[in-house]
Amino acid sequence: MIISVASGKGGTGKTTIAVNLALSVQPSVYIDCDVEEPNGHILLKPTISSQKDVAKKFPKVNLNKCTFCGKCSELCEFNAIVVLKTDVMILEELCHGCGVCSYFCPEHAIEEIEKNTGVIRKGTVSSKAVTFIEGVLNIGETHGAQLIRHVRKEIIPGQINIIDAPPGTSCSMVASVKDSDFCILVTESTPFGLNDLKLAIQVVRSLGIPFGIIINKYDEKYLDLDKYCCDDKTPILLKIPFDRKIAEYYSQGTPVVFVMPQWKELFRQVFTNIKSIIQNHEIIVDERL
Ligand code: SF4
Ligand code: SF4
């Protein structure tokens, strides 16, 4: 089973939810796909047992073969290759390493070279009941999606895999949540939270993934969010009120389920609800076939 935890915006407590869920439904696999800023390790404090480099493909032009026809530039949908009269420039920040330019170059003037983009680290959390996996993007690298695709190859079939996705609705978020059995969208009780939640809902809906909401720092005076979820028939899985104690434990790097056992029960209940939503979703999809 793959459960991804995403949020329309940063700072909603997405990692806290992913970590506490992984600790509540052990044995589980926690996978940090927030490769630009992975911080699940701060809470889980895993013992790392292996680390491997991940390379991305990158085009290199042989100017001795190039006729400066401009075809590669025309075909690059990311505007990452610029053909001048006597030179070809690759804009590294824009290049997604898709290989289209080298495939279609009529002179075979472009070869794909490998460039180190980040690492994947694996380990276990002290109880050994949680497997820890994270991707860490190299400083200066701007595209996490390729690394995320490599990280996702580490998903362990037959186990409960909890994916901590990057915030926002970028291609990195899509690469992280794609093919999940369920997506938890974490939001907070503010107009900004609601606005970004709507965008995140659009993305997971377009991917056909069943989803539910966890509202962090729930404010019962802000009713727009509840009303939206009710009108949209979006299930609210959990409301976590602002609690100074929880915030203090978080700032000390302590998962709340370690010190407040009642939260472990609540996260287990969330997991039970998720399983029944997935089952109902499968029945609906079957009936449509
Ligand atoms: S398609 Fe090939 S030959 Fe044409 S400009 Fe690009 S690298 Fe040069
Ligand atoms: S590899 Fe893809 S993204 Fe990069 S320059 Fe070539 S066509 Fe553009």
What string of H, E and C letters represents the secondary structure of the chain?
A: CEEEEECCCCCCCHHHHHHHHHHHCCCEEEEECCCCCCCHHHHHCCEEEEEEEEEEEEEEECCCCCCCCCHHHHHCCCCCEEECCCCEEECCCCCCCCCHHHHHCCCCCEEEEEEEEEEEEEEECCCCCEEEEEEEECCCCCCCHHHHHHHHCCCCCCCEEEEECCCCCCHHHHHHHCCCCEEEEEEECCHHHHHHHHHHHHHHHHCCCCEEEEEEEECCCCCHHHHHHHHHCCCEEEEEECCHHHHHHHHCCCCHHHHCHHHHHHHHHHHHHHHHHHHHHHHHHHHHC
Average pLDDT (222-234) is 92
Q: Does the pLDDT of residue 267 top 80, yes or no?
A: yes
Neighbour-count burial of 256, counting CB atoms closer than 10 A to its CB (0-12 exposed, 13-18 middle, 19+ buried): buried
Q: Residue 97 has what pLDDT?
A: 86
Atom 6, ligand 1: which residue's CA is nearest?
Answer: 72
Atom 8, ligand 2: which residue's CA is nearest?
Answer: 76
**Ligand 2 pocket, 59 CB below 6 A?**
yes
pLDDT (tens digit per residue) in 189-210: 999 999 999 999 999 999 999 9
Atom 6, ligand 2: which residue's CA is nearest?
Answer: 101
**Ligand 2 pocket, 166 CB below 6 A?**
no
Tell me what percent of the residues of the chain surpass a pLDDT of 70: 97
Q: Which ligand is nearest to the CA of 83?
A: 1
pLDDT (tens digit per residue) in 35-67: 999 999 999 999 999 999 999 888 999 999 999
pTM here is 0.86
Q: Residue 130 has what pLDDT?
A: 95
Tell me what percent of the residues of the chain surpass a pLDDT of 90: 75
Q: Which ligand is nearest to the CA of 104?
A: 1
Q: What is the mean pLDDT of the chain?
A: 92
Atom 8, ligand 1: which residue's CA is nearest?
Answer: 66
Distance of CA 71 from the midpoint of ligand 1 (Å): 6
- Ligand 2 mutation pick, 58, 72, 78, max ligand atoms within 8 A of CB: 78
**Ligand 1 pocket, 120 CB below 6 A?**
no
Fold of 2-45+126-280: Rossmann fold (3.40.50)
**Ligand 1 pocket, 219 CB below 6 A?**
no
As a whole number of angstroms, the distance between CA 94 and CA 233 comes to 39
Distance of CA 88 from the midpoint of ligand 1 (Å): 8
pLDDT (tens digit per residue) in 102-124: 999 999 999 999 989 999 999 99
Q: Residue 243 has what pLDDT?
A: 82
- CATH number (3.30.70.20, 3.30.200.20, 3.40.50.300, 3.55.50.30) of 57-116 reads 3.30.70.20
Atom 3, ligand 1: which residue's CA is nearest?
Answer: 66
Residue ranges matching CATH 3.30.70.20 in the chain: 57-116
Q: Residue 289 has what pLDDT?
A: 56
Residue ranges matching CATH 3.40.50.300 in the chain: 2-45+126-280
Atom 4, ligand 2: which residue's CA is nearest?
Answer: 95
Q: Does the pLDDT of residue 74 top 70, yes or no?
A: yes
Whole-angstrom distance between the N-terminal and C-terminal Cα of the chain? 22
Q: Which atom of ligand 1 is nearest to the CA of 71?
A: 1
Assign 244 a pLDDT band (cuts: 50, 70, 90): confident
Distance of CA 70 from the midpoint of ligand 2 (Å): 13
Q: Which ligand is nearest to the CA of 71?
A: 1
pLDDT (tens digit per residue) in 134-169: 999 999 887 788 899 999 999 999 999 999 999 988
Q: Which atom of ligand 1 is nearest to the CA of 81?
A: 6
Distance of CA 258 from the midpoint of ligand 2 (Å): 47
Q: Residue 247 has what pLDDT?
A: 83
